[in-house]
Amino acid sequence: MSDFKDIIFEVEDGVATITLNRPQALNALTFEMMFEVQEALAKIEADPSIRALILTGAGRAFCSGQDLRSRSSDEGEAKIQAVMDSYFGAMDGLRKLRVPVITAINGTAAGAGFSFALVGDVIMAARSAKFIQVFSRIGLIPDMGSTYLLPQVIGRARALKVMLTNEPIMAETALEWGLISDCVADEELMTMARDLAAKLAKGPTRALVATRNMVDEAADNDFATHVRRELEVQMDIAQSADATEGIAAFVEKRQAVFTGG
C-alpha cells in the first residue's frame, strides 16, 4: 500500500486498486486527490507487473462530485487550466491507461463523480448505487465530460432529461439503459470486481487496451476508415508476444499463457 492522503493505492496479484478515500465527505473530489490519482496512475504505467485496475470509493458512496470548498483561486483561463491539469489529467489518465480499468460503483456517483464512474472500460455497480447529475440544482451545467460521455452511452434524450431534472438513475435502470455492465448485490460488488480484474490481468493486455481504443475511436471515423484502422492496429498487435502465444495455444489446443507483452 502506498502512502497517500486522499486515496488508497494497493497492488495484489497484478491488480491495482485505487480507492477514493474521503468517506467523511462522501469521497468528494479535490485538487489534491486528483493529483494523487495521477501519481498512482504513473506508478501503474511504470510497473509492467500491473495488468488491471479497479477504481472504487471508501464508505457508503463512490463519489459525491467536486468538493465545492476545494476551489482554485485562479481566474479566467488560469482557472480552466488548473482544472484541466488536475481533474481532467486524472480522468484522461484513466481513459488512456495501459491496462483495463474497472469502475466499481459502491454508492452514489454524483456530478463529477458520475463522470469518473463513466471512465471505466467495465462499469459495475452495487444494487443500491445511483447516478445523479446534480449540476442544474446549483445553477451550473454538467462538466468534467458529462455532456460528452453520457449521451454516447444512454442517448441524447435520456441524457438531457437526467441532466435537466437531476432525477437519479438507480443501478437497475442503469443496467437496463446500458450505462453499466453489471448490477450486483452490494456485498458482492468488490468480490466480482476483483474476480473480473484477475481475469483481465491474465489476458493479452495490449490487445485488450487496443480494443478499448478502437471502440473509442469509432465515433470519429466513417466505416471504411475505421475498418482500415482496425487492420493497421491488428497488424501491429499481431507482432506481440501475447499474439504469438495465443495463436500457438489455439493451434496446439491448450490454454494460452499471456504475459502482457
Residue 73, pLDDT score: 67
**Cα separations (Å) of 34 from 3, 46, 181, 199?**
15, 19, 25, 28
Angle 146-154/156-165 helices, nearest 10 degrees? 130
Q: Which residue in the block uniquely carries the three cell numbers 482557472?
A: 79
CA pair distance 56, 107, nearest whole angstrom: 10
The alpha-helical segments, DSSP class H, found in the chain are 31-46, 76-83, 89-95, 112-118, 146-154, 156-165, 171-177, 189-201, 205-218, 223-237, 241-251
**What are 240-256's pLDDT values in tens digits?**
999 999 999 999 999 99
List CB contacts of 85: < 8 A, sequence separation 6 or more.
none
**What are 165-214's pLDDT values in tens digits?**
999 999 999 999 999 999 999 999 999 999 999 999 999 999 999 999 99
Range in 99-103, 121-125, 126-130, 144-148 with the lowest mean pLDDT: 144-148
CA pair distance 135, 145, nearest whole angstrom: 13
Strands 7-12 and 15-20: antiparallel
The alpha-helical segments, DSSP class H, found in 103-155 are 112-118, 146-154
Residue 39, pLDDT score: 98
Residue 3, pLDDT score: 83
Amino acid at 230: E
**pLDDT interval class at 29 (50, 70, 90):** very high
CA pair distance 98, 48, nearest whole angstrom: 9
CA pair distance 42, 165, nearest whole angstrom: 38
CA pair distance 234, 46, nearest whole angstrom: 25
Residue 1, pLDDT score: 52
**pLDDT interval class at 2 (50, 70, 90):** low
CA pair distance 244, 246, nearest whole angstrom: 6
Task: Residue 105: name the closest of 122, 87, 123 by CA.
Answer: 123
Residue 221, pLDDT score: 93
CA pair distance 222, 156, nearest whole angstrom: 21
C-alpha cell, 187: 456485498
